[in-house]
Amino acid sequence: MTSSLGRVLIIAGSDSGGGAGIQADIKAVTALGGYAATAITAITVQNTLGVHGVHPLPLDLIEAQARAVLDDIGADAIKTGMLGSTEVVERVAAILDTSDALTVVDPVMIAKGGHPLLPDEAVQAVRTLMIPRATLLTPNAPEAEALTGLTVADLDGQRRAGEFLLGMGAKAVLIKGGHVPGETVVDVLVTPNGETLLEGERVDTRHTHGTGCTLASACAAGLARGLTLEVAVAEAWAYVAEAIRRAPGLGGGHGPLDHGWTLRK
């Protein structure tokens, strides 16, 4: 019997604190009615106070995890997060080429506490290998700046960066506005057919750990379930906004969201 669940393969790093990475991805996909499977790229020693260690997994093990999932369970969407090195980017790009799944690429570069998660030399690999393979690319403002060389300090900057990244081969780009100053947060979805603005009041909270991972996985869950791009992104955006508002207040630093609020509403 074939399941109606949208299948999402997540290729990303593990967060021992549960707020970001693979753990946040699984929670988000599950909360939005999808089925999550994983290929872990690295194990991090992490909590709300920061990243205290990163231990990459061997390339062959990363690929073996992905292949085990794709060859048996399959995937309607693949979400990539923390890759960590040029070599991992290259291997993951090769894995993507063996699947016809939609691809959500979250170009993770820096953890919420400031710890670098992608060396500078790997950024070019993301530009040339991951962006052209992205059904949807989901950079925040600093990541968009690193990928494009443009300044992203306002809405016009977000638009310019989005158009630039479309020109680099992404099918669609969601430029997140959490790092852009202002009383409201505006995310800009840029596609070849135009743009969609998603705007909401900025929540005054330190509990925003894992918002990028969560949003990208929520988008992947919607796409895997067959939603259109615009509807999948809007659903994911609303889900994350409410998860931020309901954050449980855990830890002494950047705390996690309430990923499971949809299951209790």
Catalytic residues: 176, 208, 210-213
β-pairing, 184-191 vs 194-201, is antiparallel
> In sequence order, what are the beta bridge partners of 40?
12
The span from the CA of 228 to the CA of 213, in Å, is: 20
Q: Which residue in 132, 138, 131 sits closest to 108, CA to CA?
A: 138
The span from the CA of 254 to the CA of 208, in Å, is: 6
CA distances from 94 to 105, 196, 213, 262 (A): 14, 31, 22, 35
**Chain-centre distance of CA 193, in angstroms?**
23
Which positions ≥6 away from 111 have C-beta within 8 Å?
A: 20, 46, 50, 51, 117
